[in-house]
Amino acid sequence: MVKLYTDRFIMTPGPTEIPYRVKLALMKESTNPDLDPDFLRVYNETREKLKHVLNVREGSIYVMTGEAMLGLEAAIANTVKDGTRVLVIANGVFGEGFADLIKAYGGEPLIVENCEECWRRSADPSVIDRELEKHRDIEVVTLVHCDTPSGILNNLVEVGKVVRDHGSLLIVDAVSSIGGVPVDFDKAEVDILIGGSQKALNTPPGLTIMAISERAWDRIEKINYRGFYLDLKTWRDMLDNRGIFPYTMCDVLIYALNESIKMIMEEGLENVHRRHLLAMKASWRALEALNLNPYPSSMNYSSPTVTAFEPPKGINSEELRKIIWEKYGVMIAGSWGRLMGKVLRVGHMGVQASRTHVLSAFTALARALRDLGYSVNIGKVAEAIEEEYK
């Protein structure tokens, strides 16, 4: 079989494909980002656009050079100190992972929603309400909006309401939802929201986005983090008050992110979100045609940016992935933590949330399954997807 260089569909849940316009932005002439007033203008313009995408009317936005992990650690470092009690909503790999960060800063995590069944559904706000009622000394709550390794989406607004009613601070990892799913920072009354560049924003890895509420700033002042690089106050004091960057930015990544958000705004946020929903529904139809089990127990719990499913019994998921990539030119992902080897994922984030991409991914999956002796009807898979896009 001939493999063409065009057979190269990246359908992983981040890093994702970089669209042509974003690639061009990456090639823009660099100056000295510390000194160039034009760069500061583009940086501030990017922050304004992000405010629109995230619905931040009150609160600050920063884009920092570093992976999303930097933002997650900065959020915890600035709000948690020795003895801080934190409710960790742990219905996924990243949800559970917050506990390690909290412990690293001396906090005491109280882990909830961490059962076999909980990982297959959105977190239950009534459980969070009950735990916050029972443990009145909880000051901070952590939530992952889309837990990428399991493809689960949590309900930001519902959880936000419960947390606000109890007066705790809400920290949200929205790394793999921003740009694919509505994120309403103000309505959900989030205090610190963290994003990354390499998911639905179709920009290379290397930037973290942080939105910070006024309530969060009060706590940040009170905690007064003693470290240096992750001190969020430095960003506010230098960038907002004096118009200078605390550290040297990667200017081309900012140009790329700016272009990507421009593309999203040209398409219209609502259209972008609808396109992601459609990709999710088509993916679920394809799984049904393939007789494969989605990992979330219902489509209502599934993130519009990624579809997670179980490989058929007796089929080695790594061997399957290898065939899909090497023979059929589509890269899909396995999973992490306790889901490693048990869950496969098709990312439909940003430009990947398209009919062509979804068709390519699931027909390649079907062909590879057939190569491994699993009975499939490839035509039925394609038809199921087309049906959703009719």
Residues binding ligand PLP (CB under 6 A): 14, 67-69, 94, 144, 147-148, 173, 175-176, 196, 205
In the block, tokens 């009060």 appear at: 218
Q: What is the C-alpha separation between 367 and 64, in angstroms, rounded?
A: 42
The CB-of-199 to ligand PLP minimum distance in angstroms stands at 7
Least separation in angstroms between residue 302's CB and ligand PLP is 15
Smallest separation (angstroms) from ligand PLP to the CB of 192? 14
Q: Exposed, middle or buried, 81 (CB in 10 Å: 0-12/13-18/19+)?
A: middle
Select 122 or 176, whichever has its Cβ closest to ligand PLP. 176
The residue (of 14 and 107) whose beta carbon lies closer to ligand PLP is: 14
In this structure, what token pair is assigned to residue 359? 């068709």
Q: Give the pairing of strands 192-196 and 169-173.
A: parallel
Q: Closest approach of Cβ 353 to ligand PLP, in Å?
A: 16
- Structure tokens given for 62: 């920063």
Least distance to ligand PLP, CB of residue 335, Å = 11
**In the complex, least distance from residue 368 CB atom to ligand PLP, rounded to whole angstroms:** 24
Task: Report the C-alpha gap between 43 and 75 in whole angstroms.
Answer: 21
Q: Which is nearer to ligand PLP, 43 or 94 (CB)?
A: 94
Q: Residue 241 — φ and ψ, nearest 5°?
A: -90, -30
Check: CB of residue 47 under 8 Å from CB of residue 258.
no
CA 349 to each of CA 52, 167, 379: distance values in angstroms, whole numbers, following the listed order: 19, 34, 25
In the complex with ligand PLP, the residue whose CB is nearer, 70 or 385, is: 70
Rg (CA), the chain: 21
**173 vs 191, which CB is nearer to ligand PLP?**
173
CB of 71 to ligand PLP, least distance (A): 8
* Residue 83: burial class (beta carbons within 10 Å; 0-12, 13-18, 19+): exposed
Residue written as tokens 């020795």?
82
- Calculate the alpha carbon distances from 3 to 357, 366, 369 in Å: 17, 17, 18
Q: Between residues 204 and 312, which has the closer beta carbon with respect to ligand PLP?
A: 204
In contact, 117 and 301? CB cutoff 8 Å = no
Nearer to ligand PLP (CB atom), residue 205 or residue 337 = 205
Toward ligand PLP, which CB reaches closer, 146 or 384? 146
Minimum CB distance to ligand PLP, residue 169 (Å): 19
Taking the least distance from each CB to ligand PLP, the nearer of 336 and 389 is 336
The nearest distance, CB 14 to ligand PLP, in angstroms, is 5
Place of tokens 């986005």: 209
Torsion of CA 384, 376, 342, 282, to 10 degrees: -10
Q: How far is the CB of 67 from ligand PLP (least distance, A)?
A: 3
Give strand pairing partners of 196.
Answer: 208
Q: Where are the beta strands (DSSP E) in 117-216?
A: 138-144, 146-147, 152-153, 169-173, 192-196, 207-212
Question: Nearer to ligand PLP by C-beta: 205 or 246?
Answer: 205
DSSP labels, 288-339? HHTT--BSSSSGGGB-TTEEEEPPPTT--HHHHHHHHHHTT-EE-B---GGG
